[in-house]
């Protein structure tokens, strides 16, 4: 690196990413301005809708749960130098697995049925991601393309299962029958009721603490375990990994499987926690939001939890904002996502030279 572009660590880790995200939101503000609305007013409405009352907060955390899972999924693959765009398909397979287990075991007590259904979600997601991983490791087919293809195949599979196999006789909507009570993950407002706490009814369920636990486990895996070290080495330099006796092929498959398991766990929140049946389009693009979340969180679980919360705020606040300001529809959230991915991802080093010059001048002066 030439001296003009070297930055102190704090600037590289905190300041530059923060500036990039700020730039993305500035651009989003310009979009709001262009459609004739006041960005500051919109932001205030959005924050009030997402955080201003207990019910809104519940919805915010429920959305964030999805994004923690899909964000962690993208990040784990990223650490291994792999770009997993297949979170959407892996979540669909997770939903299929969770639903299969829940439909088969729902009559059993929750202590048996729930862990089985959660495990099924993770395993199906893992399997759906491990195949592209294996194809990359052993056959040299690029994981980006294969995971895109697997998204479409998963979507066709889900439609087929719901329309032709799982739909109960006489029902119009393509969805499975509802799960028995044993396979329903309790809502938070139900779980805290015995403690004498009265929370408003929201879709927030026990998948939220599970997502936080997953973030902790991913941190331990990536930064504190032998496997995580191997994953990071392979991501940084596969050749060096080979010399160190690590098999990049094995790590590629493993990292993709872990990534897919996390994406599949998104179904735990949506299918086992909220819908209690398998239905079409439950992934709703959350798998792609994971890309924005992982980039914004710089691949670190703590950053991902924060970024997931921010996107939870955007989703919940954006929904309420669309009520008050019909011009700012929920599509605005997708625009913001795109801007975050652009500025915090593709253009992440755009501001680096300028920032380095500014900091250098300050140090000299």
256 touching another protein, by CB under 8 A: no
Site for another protein in 19-38 (CB under 8 A): 31, 35-36
Site for another protein in 124-153 (CB under 8 A): 135, 139-142, 144-146, 148-150, 152-153
Q: Which residues of 113-133 are buried (b: 16+ CB within 10 A; e: fewer)?
A: bbebbbbbbbbbbbbbbbbbb
Which one, 227 or 351, has the nearer CB to another protein? 351
284 touching another protein, by CB under 8 A: no
DSSP of 226-284, one letter per residue? HHHHHHHHHHH-HHHHHHTT--HHHHHHHHHHHHHHHHHHHHIIIIIIIISS-BTT-ST
CB of 350 to another protein, least distance (A): 5
Q: How far apart are CA 224 and CA 217, in angstroms?
A: 10
CB of 157 to another protein, least distance (A): 7
CB of 150 to another protein, least distance (A): 7
Query: By three-state DSSP, how is residue 7 classified?
Result: coil
Which one, 204 or 314, has the nearer CB to another protein? 314
Which one, 88 or 270, has the nearer CB to another protein? 88
Residue 92 · residue 278 · CB < 8 Å:
no
Q: Which stretch binds another protein (CB under 8 A): 63-71, 223-231, 261-269, 323-331?
A: 323-331
Tell me how crowded residue 350 is: count the other CB atoms within 10 A of its CB.
15
346 touching another protein, by CB under 8 A: yes
Q: How far apart are CA 288 and CA 92, in angstroms?
A: 13
157 touching another protein, by CB under 8 A: yes
Residue 59 · residue 274 · CB < 8 Å:
no
Which one, 13 or 350, has the nearer CB to another protein? 350
Q: Which stretch binds another protein (CB under 8 A): 219-227, 254-262, 307-315, 347-355?
A: 347-355
Which one, 190 or 348, has the nearer CB to another protein? 348
Helix ranges, 106-141 (H)? 110-139
| Contact pattern for another protein over residues 162 through 201, marking x by CB under 8 A | -xx-------------------------------------
| Contact pattern for another protein over residues 76 through 95, marking x by CB under 8 A | -------x-x----------
CA torsion, ordered 341, 344, 345, 351, to nearest 10 deg: 140
Residue 146 · residue 89 · CB < 8 Å:
no
Find the distance separating the first CA and the last CA of the chain, reported in whole Å.
23
240 touching another protein, by CB under 8 A: no
Q: Which residues bind another protein (CB under 8 A)?
A: 31, 35-36, 83, 85, 135, 139-142, 144-146, 148-150, 152-153, 156-157, 159-160, 163-164, 288, 291-292, 295, 327-329, 331-339, 341-342, 345-350
């Amino acid at each position: 690196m030439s001296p003009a572009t070297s930055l102190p660590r704090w600037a590289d880790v905190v300041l530059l990413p923060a500036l990039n995200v700020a730039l993305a939101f500035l651009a989003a503000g310009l979009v709001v301005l262009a459609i004739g609305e006041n960005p500051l007013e919109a932001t205030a409405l959005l924050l009030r809708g997402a955080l201003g009352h207990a019910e809104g907060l519940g919805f915010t955390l429920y959305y964030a749960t999805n994004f923690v899972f899909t964000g962690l999924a993208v990040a784990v693959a990223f650490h291994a130098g792999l770009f997993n765009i297949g979170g959407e398909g892996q979540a669909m397979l997770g939903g299929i697995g969770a639903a299969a287990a829940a439909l088969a075991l729902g009559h059993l007590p929750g202590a048996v049925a729930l862990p089985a259904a959660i495990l099924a979600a993770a395993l199906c997601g893992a399997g759906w991601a491990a195949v592209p991983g294996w194809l990359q490791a052993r056959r040299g087919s690029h994981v980006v393309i294969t995971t895109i293809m697997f998204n479409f195949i998963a979507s066709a599979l889900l439609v087929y299962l719901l329309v032709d196999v799982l739909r109960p006789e006489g029902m119009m909507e393509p969805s499975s029958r509802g799960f028995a009570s044993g396979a329903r993950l309790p809502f938070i407002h139900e779980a805290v009721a015995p403690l004498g706490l009265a929370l408003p009814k929201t879709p927030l369920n026990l998948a939220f603490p599970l997502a936080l636990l997953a973030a902790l486990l991913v941190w331990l895996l990536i930064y504190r375990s032998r496997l995580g070290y191997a994953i990071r080495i392979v991501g940084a330099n596969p050749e060096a990994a080979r010399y160190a006796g690590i098999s990049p092929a094995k790590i590629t498959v493993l990292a993709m499987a872990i990534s897919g398991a996390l994406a599949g766990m998104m179904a735990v929140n949506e299918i086992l926690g909220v819908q209690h049946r398998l239905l079409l389009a439950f992934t709703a693009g959350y798998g792609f939001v994971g890309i924005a979340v992982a980039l914004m969180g710089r691949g670190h679980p703590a950053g991902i939890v924060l970024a997931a919360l921010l996107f939870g705020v955007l989703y919940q606040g954006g929904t309420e904002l669309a009520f008050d300001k019909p011009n700012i529809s929920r599509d605005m959230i997708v625009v913001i996502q795109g801007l975050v991915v652009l500025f915090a991802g593709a253009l992440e080093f755009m501001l680096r030279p300028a920032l380095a010059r500014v900091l250098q001048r300050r140090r000299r002066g």
